[in-house]
Amino acid sequence: MKNPCFIILFCLVHLFSCTGNINENDTSLTALVNPFVGTDGPGNTYPGASLPFGMVQLSPDIGIPGWDRIAGYYYQDSIISGFSHMHLTGTGAGDLYDILVMPTNSRFSKRIKENNFKPFSSFSHDKEKATPGYYGVDLLDFNIKAELTATSRTGIHRYTFPEDSLSQIHIDLGYALNWDAPVDTYIKVVNNTTIEGYRKSTGWAKDQRVYFQMQLSKPFKGYHLFQNDTLVTGSARSKNTRIVLDYETSKEDVIVLKTGVSSANIEGARKAIAIEAPDFNFDAYRTKADRIWETVLQKIVIESSDTDKKSIFYTMLYQSMLAPTLLSDLNQNYKGANDSIMTAQGYDRYDTFSLWDTYRAAHPLYTILHPNRVSDMVKSMLAHYKETGLLPVWSLQGNETNMMIGYHAVPVIVDAFFKGIDFNYDLAFEACKASAMDNSRQIDVYRQNGYIPIDEHHENWSVSKTLEYAYDDWCIAQLAKALNKEEDYHYFLNRSENWRNVFDQESTFMRPKYKNGTFLEDFIPKAYTPYFCESNAWHYMWNVPQNIEGLIQAVGGKERFEQKLDSMFTLNPLPDDKLPIFSTGMIGQYAHGNEPSHHVGYLYNYIDKPWKTQNIVRNILVTQYKNEPNGHCGNEDCGQMSSWYVLSALGFYPVNPAQGMYSIGSPLFDKATINLENGKQFSIQANNNSSENKYIESIFLNGEALHRNYITHQDITEGGTLVIQMSNRPMKDTLPEKGISSKVYH
């Protein structure tokens, strides 16, 4: 939660001071990306340098703990305490921040308690710049210019020093922030340009290991190596080690530092430098990083006269590719979830799977844009299963954190299966079934009762767990049917209807239920209680993507369902309602800042009122995302918030993320072309589009009228053109001949 005692050293918030992110080549797509979006407010993003899905996230650290600095950086602050090599993007989890580097000199020596007396410098957003794969800032108190770039497994720093006989570079393995704490660190001085070692830590990831080698372009003339607070020579090993490298610098003296990392061993870290960063040409690495980002951003080319909206779109597309992250090194070794060193045979091992968030939109987006990488991601989940006996829930750096609920690797795997992505299908079914038949996380209670009853646990989350388990069960049923496992198909299909066991006909809400089968008394749907995961009954009311038709009938038919949906978007919180930190981006009871609400705007399509979907989706697109540091209405959450925008701005969204169907909304741009990995193109052309013309008059797919409010994954991957005629008038009298269905189409 936010804590005012952490909010210190404010600088004025210049909403437009981050325009320094524009690349010199102003015709490139990378020039449109603003990495500062989400670094203020609740977004919890970082502005530093990384490659798409890369192992390294080299970014500045303020050095002060707190919710606002979960990603290490907070736009409202005015100091920097160094640059560490790993960060989480947009989460509520305070972990990583590994291997802090900070250049200093004799010009400034102040220390403050708030950052644990580490070196720091003031900085100004006027002297700060970020583009994809690059970050630069002037450390004002030292007159040192710091610049960062990255390869997939190497972080590269360039420091430009003034003249000073006491210039130094601090490398601090004991530095820790928020939940993170070192347990064993090691530094070895190899020679006067090379150090190596490891940092083992605990936190959200209980057993994190980062091995590194660090090379410098200029020999240091001396060093101070600390084992805890004791000076030693040669090498140091303890919970807290750090080294200070001494330099005498002339004016504009440049030192390049590169750090290769591996979760397995130092050999992997050495190879990262040898293969990915063999020389000290910082500008060449920066240029290569920019070109890599340009290539992946070119997977979607949009046409619009609104530069600001284009900037938001490409920033969201950029942020959708900051996670999951590489875990295996160039020897294909990695720290496994069984705490052993494992080898990925024939694929790259990924981790940072924030699945409660990302199964909804991020992973379906990856199946469109990155199907080859999705193959490796699914193989990574199956490797996690082989290592632990279960699929990942929320895995990080070769650890299972068990954060959040559901077994949501299942919809990711099932979706990939039906989209023809390559992996071991038999192993996948085995893993899905094992996760659904486990006895942990109250799955045994769910199997026994058909729902999870109220208990005294502070995060009981009973209603949410029941609903999310039931959806995952539907996914397993579809996979079982496709693999001719009839008994499993019927068993899991039956379980997928367990949502009915917490549906209360009297209130027409999903309602907490006691073990004896009676519902909770004094039920207030808008109240935030332990029975709903980061939500209330309004948010989870709609969490039956596997059977929207059944939910409509249970509520009382289409008219009653429409009334309830309307209330969702108009029942505003009262001034004295206590909203938790995760209830942001509010439109009535709809909370776009948190994931359970993300599909709700599209549900009007299921009751033949598509113009209401078009209206609310366009409203969310233009009000909940902005091209400024406080541009996210909630945690970005490892690509989910940004992926919702990318898909919805294109004009469609997967209400059921494992179904291969995309519900049509309201396309934001005049034209968007998806360049697919199979060499084909799929274009969405919105004629007569504007802020007023947000309603759809007609749709043609490859020249033929489309009498439905969805497209399929196959429609996209086969290539073609979707032409949408826009209007300022809701098309209430022109209903599709065949409305959208939640039934699987495979």
Q: What is the pLDDT of residue 9?
A: 32
Q: Where are the beta strands (DSSP E) in 192-294?
A: 194-202, 208-216, 222-227, 230-232, 235-238, 241-249, 253-262
C-beta of residue 419 within 8 angstroms of C-beta of residue 718: no
Q: Give, rounded to a whole angstrom, the gap between the first and last alpha carbons of the chain.
A: 43
Q: What is the pLDDT of residue 23?
A: 41
Residue type, 406: G
Q: What is the pLDDT of residue 4?
A: 34
Structure tokens of 591?
């909370």
CA distance 110 to 112: 7
pLDDT band for 740, please (50, 70, 90 cuts). Answer: low
Structure tokens of 740?
């959208």
- Coil/strand/helix, residue 245: strand
The DSSP secondary-structure symbol of 637 reads T
Residue type, 288: K
Q: Where are the beta strands (DSSP E) in 419-560?
A: 503-504, 509-510
Q: What is the pLDDT of residue 734?
A: 57
C-beta of residue 134 within 8 angstroms of C-beta of residue 49: yes
CA distance 729 to 738: 21
Structure tokens of 38?
């989400």
Only one residue has tokens 């605990």, namely: 202
Q: What pLDDT, in 10s, does the model give residues 454-504?
A: 998 778 999 999 999 999 999 999 999 999 999 999 999 999 999 999 999
Q: What is the pLDDT of residue 741?
A: 54
Closest CA to 49 of 110, 137, 122, 179: 137
If you average pLDDT over residues 117-125, what whole number do you get? Answer: 98
C-beta of residue 326 within 8 angstroms of C-beta of residue 152: yes
Domain over 4-298 is classified CATH 3.20.20.60: no
Q: What is the pLDDT of residue 266?
A: 98
CA distance 655 to 546: 9
Handedness of CA 230, 234, 239, 244 (dihedral sign): positive
Do you know the residue count of the chain?
A: 746
Structure tokens of 65?
């703990």
Q: What pLDDT, in 10s, does the model give residues 54-81?
A: 999 999 999 999 999 999 999 999 999 9
pLDDT at residue 738 is higher than 90: no
Q: What is the pLDDT of residue 27?
A: 82
pLDDT at residue 570 is higher than 80: yes
For residue 210, the cross-strand partners are 199
Structure tokens of 588?
């009535």
Give the contacts of 636 (CB within 8 A, at least 6 positions apart): 38, 43, 44, 45, 89, 90, 319, 642
Tell me the backbone φ, ψ of residue 419, rounded to 5 degrees: -95, 10
CA distance 567 to 33: 36
3-state secondary structure 139-173: ECCCCEEEEEEECCCEEEEEEEECCEEEEEEEEEC
From the centroid of its chain, how far is CA 138?
29
pLDDT at residue 13 is higher than 70: no
Mean predicted lDDT score pLDDT of the chain:
94
Q: What pLDDT, in 10s, does the model give residues 190-249?
A: 999 999 999 999 999 999 999 999 999 999 999 999 999 999 999 999 999 999 999 999
Q: Where are the domains of the chain?
A: 4-298, 300-328+557-746, 345-441, 443-546
Q: What pLDDT, in 10s, does the model give residues 608-665?
A: 999 999 999 999 999 999 999 999 999 999 999 999 999 999 999 999 999 999 999 9
Rounded to the nearest 10°, the torsion over CA 555, 561, 564, 565 is 140
pLDDT at residue 560 is higher than 50: yes
Count of other CB atoms within 10 angstroms of residue 130: 24
**pLDDT above 70 as % of the chain:** 95
CATH superfamily of 345-441: alpha-1,2-mannosidase (1.20.1050.60)
Structure tokens of 196?
């190596």
CA distance 101 to 109: 16
Structure tokens of 459?
């995060």
Half-sphere exposure of 295 (CA within 13 A, CB side): 11
pLDDT at residue 739 is higher than 60: no
Integer Rg of the chain from CA: 26
Class of domain 443-546: mainly alpha
Give the contacts of 187 (CB within 8 A, at least 6 positions apart): 171, 173, 195, 196, 197, 225, 235, 236, 237, 241, 242, 243
The DSSP secondary-structure symbol of 635 reads -
For residue 209, the cross-strand partners are 200
pLDDT at residue 305 is higher than 60: yes
C-beta of residue 473 within 8 angstroms of C-beta of residue 485: no
pLDDT band for 732, please (50, 70, 90 cuts). Answer: confident
- Coil/strand/helix, residue 503: strand
If you average pLDDT over residues 88-113, what whole number do you get? Answer: 97
Class of domain 300-328+557-746: alpha beta
Q: What pLDDT, in 10s, does the model give residues 419-439?
A: 999 999 999 999 999 999 999
pLDDT at residue 11 is higher than 80: no
Q: What pLDDT, in 10s, does the model give residues 346-376?
A: 999 999 999 999 999 999 999 999 999 999 9
CA distance 664 to 646: 13
C-beta of residue 221 within 8 angstroms of C-beta of residue 244: no
C-beta of residue 80 within 8 angstroms of C-beta of residue 63: yes
Q: What is the pLDDT of residue 727?
A: 97
Structure tokens of 431?
């893993």
Residue type, 43: G
CA distance 593 to 653: 17
Closest CA to 340 of 263, 454, 244, 288: 263
Q: Which region among 382-391, 560-569, 572-581, 678-687 has the lowest average model confidence (pLDDT)?
A: 572-581
Closest CA to 643 of 368, 337, 386, 442: 368
Structure tokens of 689?
């589009």
pLDDT at residue 148 is higher than 50: yes
Structure tokens of 117?
């007396």
C-beta of residue 649 within 8 angstroms of C-beta of residue 621: yes
pLDDT at residue 2 is higher than 50: no
- Coil/strand/helix, residue 458: coil
Residue type, 449: N
pLDDT at residue 524 is higher than 90: yes
pLDDT at residue 42 is higher than 60: yes
From the centroid of its chain, how far is CA 490?
34
